[in-house]
Structure 1
């Protein structure tokens, strides 16, 4: 009987990870994952950035116009109402079920378990902290590279336009435009 029970336990242990790979993750494990990912803080950060963008948008919408005191008060009230709407409709209590639903649909229990283990580790926490900064640095460096390439890209574009104009002129029998006209 003991051998049979040990055999059943062994099979259960071997099958259990395979079954976890197909199981829908539990709410408890999804909550652990969201905590490990600092998702609530990220949502709060998105709200703060949205408020900043609303303010910037209001200022950009003014252009060169300087509102008088009454107009400024109306703009501030509109901005306040927009921010309050976001804060009311995008609370963690309203957003968390969305995350739970999405993660439940996209990840198995085993994947969630593995992510929890990773993101709770020092390396996982470092990734959460450093990856946004690394992405920001890479984006900035790519933008600088594109700026350095811009003169050459412009030159190639101008040469291509000149070639197209010359070709079109030769097809129609008209004289080819001079090099000055090609740069207009």
Structure 2
């Protein structure tokens, strides 16, 4: 038993010593100016805006759960959960810091300054505002385009298969027993 405690104590000491060496190194890895540039870029692109409702949604869910079990205490539960949520609201800044660290690891300080400058410009702000609409319309256009490509490739492949079968003297059918088009490649393109 004494031997096991000694071994555990030794392992714990090695782990703690290892953490003492690695944690400060990881924390000092990003220069304050680099982290500030990352924070400016994160703010400029509103990268954490999508997380704004997490605390409010959690409070709503918790209220629902607690009130479901104690319906006679609805007003008190609602007030209590709101108070507790307000106590946690300052932790939102922790998310900004962590996201800034992510960006600082991925981009140089100058790149982050350039990103912030662009997204703070009129064009950058417009891109943030209109980007989702452009993405939605781009996907719709790509869908129409891909359907047309598929249709045209199917038609061209059927024509090519018809020519291959004619050259080989095989029966004129496609896989699945479908009949081949009776027009030649030249006639099909003039239609």
- TM class by shorter-chain length? 0.3 to 0.5
Larger relative CO (CA 8 A, sep 6+): 1 or 2? Answer: 1
Larger Rg: 2
TM-score, L = length of structure 2: 0.45
TM-score, L = length of structure 1: 0.46
